[in-house]
Amino acid sequence: MDFKDVLTLRKTTRGYLPDQISESRLYEILLAAQTAPLATGDDQTTHLTVLQNPETMARIRKSCQLISRKTNKPLDPFYGAPTVIFVSATDLSEDHIEFSNVACVIENMILAATNEGLGSTYIWGCLKKLRKDSETLKLLMIPEGYEILSAFAVGYPVKPLAPRKPREKMTVNRI
């Protein structure tokens, strides 16, 4: 796929088919994660956890569950995605560069998923609840000293990926 097509097709997916992604697609996504630019090339402080087990996924969904402000009903924080990749870091520095590293890793995975025809979602807000649920957190077997900073949900989208127009509201100063 042409890179410009990847950029225009990439957008948050909020509905996934239950079918698990193929191993070859997962491989491409993980390869993209491992080629992300990291501050000072430090790949020893970042860890990926791939969650595809339905039983564990159900426990994690429950732990992270949000309530809709409109309907007051529970929401699936992962939008039904069959795969979630948690990105953790250790040795958080004073300037928190690790958050930037994790964002670069996830953006690479998002672009790779789009290139594979998959939908994806950058997950952030609900993870605070998971970090406080130590019993459920143990199910993810995060290495000691690491903390989940963000996650990435991925799967086959309910609605096909469709091109979008670039944002016009973003301001740009040219000097």
Among 88, 81, 86, smallest CA distance to 19 is for: 81
Of 66, 161, 65, residue with least CA distance to 114: 161
Judge contact between 139 and 79, C-beta under 8 A: no
pLDDT of 166: 77
Instruction: Give the whole-angstrom CA distance, residue 54 versus residue 74.
Output: 19
- Which pTM was predicted? 0.92
Which are the contacts of 159, defined by CB distance < 8 A and separation ≥ 6? 13, 15
Question: How is the beta sheet containing 146-155 ordered, strand by strand?
Answer: 46-51, 83-90, 146-155, 119-123
More confident residue, 40 or 141: 141
Q: Say which range, 112-116, 131-135, 154-158, 167-171, has the weakest mean pLDDT.
A: 167-171
pLDDT at 40: 65
Tell me the mean pLDDT in the region 33-37: 93
The answer to whether the CB of 30 falls within 8 A of the CB of 152 is: no
Element (H, E) at 54: helix 54-64
β-bridge mates for residue 152, sequence order: 85, 122
Distance CA 144, CA 105 (A): 21
Instruction: Find out if CATH 3.40.50.10580 is the number for domain 3-155.
Output: no
User: Which residue reads 């989208």 in tokens?
Assistant: 157
Q: What is the DSSP letter of 65?
A: -
Residue 26: pLDDT over 80: yes
**Would you say the C-alpha torsion 109, 123, 20, 157 has a positive or negative sign?**
negative
Average pLDDT, the chain: 93
Q: Quick one: average pLDDT of 129-133?
A: 94
Q: What is the per-residue pLDDT for 137?
A: 94
Contact 20, 52 (CB under 8 A): yes
Q: What is the pLDDT of residue 50?
A: 98
- Supply the pLDDT for residue 93: 80
Q: What are the residue ranges spanned by the domains of the chain?
A: 3-155
pLDDT for residue 41 is more than 80: no
Question: What's the pLDDT score for residue 32?
Answer: 97
Q: What stretches of 117-160 adopt beta strand conformation (E)?
A: 119-123, 146-155
Find the mean pLDDT for residues 132-139.
Answer: 95
Cβ atoms 81, 14 nearer than 8 A: no
